[in-house]
Amino acid sequence: MADVFPGSLTCFHIEMVTTATSRESTPLPQKRGFVYKAAGVAALGGLLFGYDTGVISGAALFLRGEFALSTFQLEVVVAGVLLGAAAGALTGGRFSDLFGRKKLLIVTAIIFAAGAILCAAATSSSMLVIGRIIVGVGIGLSSGTVPVYISEISPADARGWQVSLFQLAITVGILLAYIVGYAFAAIEGWRWMFGVALFPAVVFGTGMLFLPESPRWLTQRGLHAQARDVLAHMRGTQEVDTELREIEASLSHAEERGRWSDLLEVSLRPALIAGIGLAIFQQITGINTVIYYAPTILQSAGIPSASGAILATAGIGAVNVLMTLVAMRLIDRMGRRPLLLTGIAGMIVTLALLGISFRFSDQGTLAWLAVISMMLYVASFAISLGPIFWLLISEIYPLKIRSSCQGLAASFNWGFNLLVTLTFLTLVELLGASLTFWLYGACAIASWIFSYYFIPETKGRTLEQIEEFWRAGRSRRVA
C-alpha cells in the first residue's frame, strides 16, 4: 500500500499500522458465532431497504391503472420513499445517539411493518403515498443506524465484511424485489408485492428483541457493567479490558457534548467532509438510474422485447449481489482504499462505454455492449462505492455523535438519490442518453480524485484508533 499511495497518505497508513493490532484482543473465529448472528439479524434492515426501494419498479406498472394516476402523481409515489428516507436518516441518527441503537432498530421494524400493511391495503392514492413515506422513514432509520450498530459490535479485523453485510442485504433485497415483481406481474398482484415486506420486517424486529445493545453506546451512557458483559459475550472472552479502556478514552473529550455543533469542531471537519462527500458521489455517479430504470435503458439501447429487458435486469441484480460478496472477501484484507479506487476506475470506464453504446445504438449493433457495460458498471460499484460508503460512515465518526453524523451523511445520500432519480429521464430527453452517462462518468472522475485525497484507510483499526487519528489532525492531505 505504501508504494501504491504516495505522499502524505503513506505517512497516514504507516502511522495507523504501527499503532495497530497489538492493542486489540483478537478472539478466535469459532468464538465469534454470536457477533456474526447479531450482524446478520441487524442486516435485515438492509434487506428491507433494498426490497422496498426496488419493488416500486414492478408495482408502478399496475398502480397507474388502479388509481388513475397522472405521471406527476406516480412520481410522487416513487419519490415519497426517498423523501421519507432522507427525513428518517436525519432524525434517526440523533434518536439512536439519545435512546440507543437497539431500541431504534426495533421501532424501525415496526415502521417497516406498518408501511407494508398500509401500502398493501391502500384504497386511494393518498393512502398509498402515506404508506410509501412511512416505508421511506423506515429505510432512512435503518440506513442511519444499522451500519453503526454492526460497526460497534464488530471486532476490528472483521468490521469491514460485517458492516458490508448491510450492503449485501440491500442488493439481495433489490434482487428479491425484481423476482417478486416478476412473479406477481401475471396476476397484477401489486398488493402482494408491497405486502411481502411484512415478513422480513417481523423477523427483523423479533430478532432485534433478542440482541444486546451496542457496548459502545452502553459505555457512553455510563452503563459500564452491562457494556463489559455484552463485550465479553460478543468477543467470546473475558479479556476485554483493553477494548473497554479505549472506548472510555474516546469519551473523555469534554469539549464534545454530543450535539450537532460538535461537528463544526476543526479536528472533525475532515471526517465530516469525507462522509458527506462520499454520500453525494455514491449517488451522482448514477447507480440508481440503472437500479431503478434498467429495463427502460436496455430497451432504448436496442433490446426489443420487454421480457429480454427484464431478464437482463435480473442478471444485473445478480451481478450486484455476487460482486458485493467478492468485496466482502477483500475488504478486510486489501483495505478500503485500494478497493474503492479500483472500483471507481471501473465505473469511469464502463460509463464511458455505456455512453458509446448509446451513441451508436441507432445502428442496432451495440445493444450487447450496453448490457455488458451496465453489468460491469454495477460490478465496479458493488466492490467500491456501494459497500465502502456505508462502511466508512459507520466507522469514521467519534462515538459521542457517531449515529448523528452517520444519519447526516445518509440523509445527504437520500437527498442526492432523489435528485438523480427525478432528473434522469429529463436529462436523457435534453442531452440524450449518451451525454447523460458521460456526465455521470465525469462525476465518477471527480469521485476518484476526492477519494484519493480525502478517504483514509481504516482497515484493521479499532473505532477508537480511527477517532484518535482525526483528532491528531493528521488528515489534511491536500495542502
Q: How far is the CB of 55 from ligand BGC (least distance, A)?
A: 12
Cell numbers placing 177: 424485489
For ligand BGC, which stretch binds (CB under 6 A), given 170-178, 231-239, 245-253, 454-462? 170-178
**Cβ proximity of 148 and 25 under 8 Å:** no
Binder of ligand BGC out of 108, 162, 214, 320 (CB under 6 A)? 320
Strands (E), 28-167: none
Please state, as a whole number, how many other Cβ atoms lie within 10 Å of the Cβ of residue 71.
Answer: 8
| Sign, Cα dihedral of 439, 440, 443, 449 | negative
Among 170, 278, 351, 392, binds ligand BGC (CB under 6 A): 170
Position 141 contacts ligand BGC (CB under 6 A): no
Cβ proximity of 420 and 289 under 8 Å: yes
- How far is 405 from 433, CA to CA, in rounded Å? 35
By the rule CB under 6 A, 443 interacts with ligand BGC = no
Please provide the distance, in angstroms rounded to a whole number, between the alpha carbons at the two ends of the chain.
22
- Residue 397 backbone class (left: φ over 0; alpha: ψ -120 to 50; beta: rest): beta
**Which window, 219-227, 282-290, 336-344, 455-463, contacts ligand BGC (CB under 6 A)?**
282-290
In the chain, the largest separation of any two C-alpha atoms, in whole Å, equals 70
Q: Is 220 in the site for ligand BGC (CB under 6 A)?
A: no
- Residue 287 found at the interface with ligand BGC (CB under 6 A): yes
- The reply to whether 361 sits near ligand BGC by the rule CB under 6 A is no
Q: Does 344 bind ligand BGC (CB under 6 A)?
A: no
Indicate which single residue of 58, 207, 386, 407 sits in contact with ligand BGC (rule: CB under 6 A).
386
Stretch of residues binding ligand BGC (CB under 6 A), selected from 164-172, 305-313, 336-344, 469-477: 164-172
User: Pick from 142, 394, 417, 458: which binds ligand BGC (CB under 6 A)?
Assistant: 417
**What's the rounded Cα separation, in Å, for the pair 421 and 11?**
40
Minimum Å distance from CB 268 to ligand BGC? 23
Cβ atoms of residues 299 and 428 within 8 Å? no
* Grid cell digits, residue 431: 442531452
Indicate which single residue of 291, 347, 354, 374 sits in contact with ligand BGC (rule: CB under 6 A): 291
Q: Does position 167 bind ligand BGC by CB under 6 A?
A: yes
Reading the block at residue 95, the C-alpha cell is 434518536
Q: Shortest distance, CB of residue 324 to ligand BGC, whole angstroms?
A: 7
Q: What is the 3-state secondary structure (H, E, C) of 416-429?
A: HHHHHHHHHHHHHH
Write the CA distances from 423 to 19, 319, 427, 436, integer angstroms.
46, 26, 6, 10
When binding is defined by CB under 6 A, the residue of 125, 171, 380, 451 that contacts ligand BGC is: 171
Query: Smaller CB distance to ligand BGC: residue 133 or 366?
Result: 133
Instruction: Match 453525494 to its residue by C-alpha cell.
Output: 280
Task: Write down the residue that cell numbers 406481474 correspond to.
Answer: 185
Which one of 211-219, 281-289, 293-301, 428-436 is the stretch in contact with ligand BGC (CB under 6 A)? 281-289
Report the interface residues with ligand BGC, using CB under 6 A: 53, 167, 170-171, 174, 282, 287-288, 291, 320, 386, 413, 417
